Structure 1
Amino acid sequence: MLEVYLFVNPLGEQCVRDEQNVLRLANDSDKQIQFQFVPLLNINVIQKAMQRQGFKPSDWQAQNQQSQTLYRLILDYKAALFQGKKRGRNFLIAMQDALLKAGQSYSVALAQDVAKQCKIDLDMFMEDRDSDLAKQAFHADQRLASEMAITESSSAVVFDCDNYDYGVLLEQFTYNTLFDLVNGQLDPFQALNQHTKNCVSLDNTQLHVL
């Protein structure tokens, strides 16, 4: 069995495409795959969210607003996950559709509407989104990102559950590269040629052996 961790910016269009690629991979591959969408919040993510909305990096008020919006959205996502991984993923994707495709602004009312659409218990959701447990889950995600040296969203880490000696980090990956890696058609060590190296570029995809 394989585990795939996809680190995402909830307000990033590329992350939405990568999420779809991971979901497609889970359907296309013969291998058993567990996957998680792990929200990432750092200065790179915040500035890219600002850039998408036309704000300058020096606009500190906009930076603070983007940081708060992303943080609240992530806590909403964690609260939705408490009611099941599938519901949580559906909530995240539906929120991204509303914010990125439909151009709506984030609000508590929008989060409530999306939660209802995703068959999420609203009373429990509203309680959980402000809970210490949701905040702890957020901090656990950021620690995981730090441990895996993740600095950019749209990064995927693949582990083989039968061999935890190493994992492979993919940056700027395509669906084909991810598919080939998961299905054993791309050996990261063979691609590296030397075990002493830790990074190789294949088809504009950066692979790092962790």
Structure 2
Amino acid sequence: MLEVYLFVNPLATQCVRDEQNVLRLANDSDKQIQFQFVPLLNINVVSRALKCQGIQASNWQAQNKQSQTLYRVILDYKAALFQGKKRGRNFLIALQAAMLKAQQRYSEALVKQVAQDCQIDLDMFMEDRDSQLAKQAFQADQRLASEMNITEASSAVVFDCDRYDYGVLLEHFNYTTLLDLVNGQLDPFHEVTRQASANAGSTTAQLHVL
């Protein structure tokens, strides 16, 4: 059995592509795969998000606004997950489509509409999104990221419970890299050794054994 943890910025286009790759992998692979999208919120995530918008990371007002929006989106996602993993994922994907593709601004009205479209119990959702339980779930995700040394979004940690006693961290990966690792066509130790001598500026997939 495989366990995949994908650490994401919920409002980053690259993370949406990574989510699609993980969903595609779960659908294409013959192996049993359990996966989880783990929202990440730290200064690196916020700074990268601002850079993509052409805003200086030193703009404290913009930084605070971006952090607040991401935090609210994450709590909404956690509240949706309380009604089932599938509903939670569908909510996140629908909210991302509304904000990233349709360019809608985050608002209470938008969140309610997305929740209703995803057949989420609205009364329960509205109560849960501001609950202590949702905040604790957010904090647990950040602790998990810290334990796995995750500092950047679009990072995936893969555990192959049948073959290895360790996890493999992938950064700058694509579907092919993920598939090769899952199918055993990529030796993590060999790849880590090879990449250690590669150019530090390379944008190719990077693997680290945890």
Q: TM-score range by the shorter chain?
A: over 0.9
Matches of 2:21 and 2:143, distance apart in 1:
25
TM-superposed CA distance for 1:191, in Å, is: 2.9
TM-superposed CA distance for 1:200, in Å, is: 7.7
Question: Is 1:175 aligned with 2:167?
Answer: no
CA deviations over 1:135-177 (Å, ceiling 9, x no partner): 0000000000000000010000000223562100000001100
Q: Secondary structure at the match of 2:165?
A: strand
Structure 2: runs of 5 or more not aligned: none
Q: Which residue of 2 aligns with 1:81?
A: 81
Paired letter, 1:114: V
Q: Secondary structure at the match of 2:22?
A: helix
TM-superposed CA distance for 1:193, in Å, is: 5.2
Q: Is the 8 A contact 2:192 2:208 kept in 1?
A: no
Paired letter, 1:96: Q
Paired letter, 2:43: I
**1:31-110 matched pairs, under 5 angstroms:** 31-110=31-110
TM-superposed CA distance for 1:22, in Å, is: 0.3
Paired letter, 1:29: S
Matches of 1:192 and 1:169, distance apart in 2:
10
Q: Is the 8 A contact 1:199 1:206 kept in 2?
A: no
Matches of 2:203 and 2:45, distance apart in 1:
24
Q: Secondary structure at the match of 1:207?
A: strand
Matches of 1:149 and 1:15, distance apart in 2:
18
Q: Check 1:52–1:171 CA distance in 2 against 1; reply closer, same or farther (3 A cut).
A: same
Matches of 1:96 and 1:51, distance apart in 2:
19
Q: Which residue of 1 aligns with 2:130?
A: 130
TM-superposed CA distance for 1:199, in Å, is: 5.6
Q: Secondary structure at the match of 1:178?
A: helix
Q: Is the 8 A contact 2:46 2:66 kept in 1?
A: yes
Q: Which residue of 1 aligns with 2:22?
A: 22
Paired letter, 1:10: P
Q: Which residue of 1 aligns with 2:112?
A: 112
Q: Which residue of 1 aligns with 2:140?
A: 140
Q: Secondary structure at the match of 1:105?
A: coil
Q: Check 1:193–1:48 CA distance in 2 against 1; reply closer, same or farther (3 A cut).
A: closer
TM-superposed CA distance for 1:187, in Å, is: 1.6
Kindly indicate which of the two structures has a greater share of residues assigned to strand.
1
Paired letter, 2:107: S
Q: Secondary structure at the match of 2:149?
A: coil
Q: Is the 8 A contact 2:38 2:141 kept in 1?
A: yes
Paired letter, 2:68: Q
Q: Which residue of 2 aligns with 1:154?
A: 154
Matches of 1:199 and 1:43, distance apart in 2:
26
RMSD (CA atoms):
1.8
Matches of 2:161 and 2:204, distance apart in 1:
27
Q: Check 1:93–1:105 CA distance in 2 against 1; reply closer, same or farther (3 A cut).
A: same
Equivalences, count? 207
Q: Is the 8 A contact 1:200 1:206 kept in 2?
A: no
Percent identical across equivalent pairs?
Answer: 77
Q: Which residue of 1 aligns with 2:184?
A: 184
TM-superposed CA distance for 1:49, in Å, is: 1.8
